[in-house]
């Protein structure tokens, strides 16, 4: 019965979150982390890594749509994409919805997560891992961008929070290497947690990105799983006009893409960059 077993996440010093585990589907360790999948009556299948909720079937579309469609439609001509992380396949699936995308390199440190997702999270990844445009690399994302991997129009850092394997993806060295991998006019987007609860994470990332890019800010999305307020998604580019694309142009691009969404719209795209004062203060 619902509520007999609970997954409790000590999210912050002042807050804990509990989700009812109606049925545990999988509980095992990969080479890098403990992976647990359980069913919840409201969120469907819930994936946790080392006890931290990563994604759920019910609300994954919000995060994945906003971290993919916003930069792709703002850029207008994305052909090559690099995804760092994203082992559940949800980000990859959204990126590949855009027919103009010709190539996606996805770098995931834990191959066990990818194989697990293919087997258990089909509602999230679909058939994205079988797309011929994908180059899947099982490696450390920070080490990958430090090499000579190619010129990308968009880099998406779909990482965990800055703890454990994800910590190196929140450093100035990592961001500098990402910039080096971007083609002219390229965009870097990142996940930066919930600024009401994690203000230091957003402030730190923006500060580092400002030393590298001409146009740096964040935009917001409200994801029920990530409690504590709206989630911040970092934005960095050398072309300020990409953040100021007219609404009508976004509408035309969105209509031409013929993709179906449940959260993203051109209007939501524009509104996401309107920051409340407490977030604007962190961005500076």
CA 57 to chain centre: 15
Annotated catalytic residue 110: no
Residue 245: both structure tokens together = 């694309």
Spatial contact of 151 and 80, defined as CB atoms under 8 Å apart: yes
Q: Which residues contact 257 (CB under 8 A, 6 or more apart)?
A: 73, 97, 98, 99, 100
Spatial contact of 54 and 88, defined as CB atoms under 8 Å apart: yes
Identify which of 23, 21, 18, 17 has the alpha carbon closest to the alpha carbon of residue 5: 21
Residue 210: both structure tokens together = 């400002």
Active-site choice (110, 158, 215, 238): 158
In DSSP terms, which residues pair with 28 in a beta bridge?
35
3-class SS letters over 206-249: HHHHHCCCCEEEEEEECCCCCCCCCEEEEEEECCHHHHHCCHHH
- Residues annotated as catalytic (active site), given as ranges: 158
């Amino acid at each position: 019965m619902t509520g007999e077993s609970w997954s409790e996440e000590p999210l912050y010093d002042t807050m804990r979150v509990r989700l009812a585990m109606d049925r545990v589907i999988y509980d095992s360790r990969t080479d890098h982390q403990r992976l647990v999948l359980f069913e919840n009556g409201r969120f469907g299948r819930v994936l946790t890594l080392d006890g931290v909720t990563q994604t759920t079937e019910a609300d994954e579309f919000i995060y994945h749509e906003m971290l993919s469609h916003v930069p792709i439609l703002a850029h207008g001509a994305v052909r090559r994409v690099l995804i760092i992380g994203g082992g559940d396949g949800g980000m990859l699936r959204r990126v590949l919805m855009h027919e103009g995308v010709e190539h996606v390199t996805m770098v995931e440190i834990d191959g066990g997560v990818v194989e697990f997702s293919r087997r258990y999270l089909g509602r999230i990844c679909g058939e994205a891992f079988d797309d011929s445009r994908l180059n899947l690399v099982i490696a450390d994302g920070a080490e990958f961008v430090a090499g000579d991997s190619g010129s990308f129009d968009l880099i998406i850092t779909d990482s965990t929070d800055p703890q454990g394997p994800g910590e190196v993806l929140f450093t100035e060295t990592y961001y500098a290497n990402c910039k080096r991998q971007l083609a002219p006019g390229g965009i870097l987007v990142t996940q930066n947690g919930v600024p009401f609860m994690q203000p230091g994470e957003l402030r730190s990332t923006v500060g580092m990105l400002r030393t590298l890019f001409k146009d740096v800010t964040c935009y917001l999305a409200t994801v029920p799983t990530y409690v504590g307020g709206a989630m911040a998604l970092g934005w960095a580019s050398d072309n300020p006009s990409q953040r100021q694309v007219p609404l009508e142009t976004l509408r035309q691009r969105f209509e031409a893409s013929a993709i179906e969404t449940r959260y993203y719209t051109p209007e939501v795209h524009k509104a996401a960059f309107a920051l409340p004062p407490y977030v604007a203060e962190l961005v500076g």
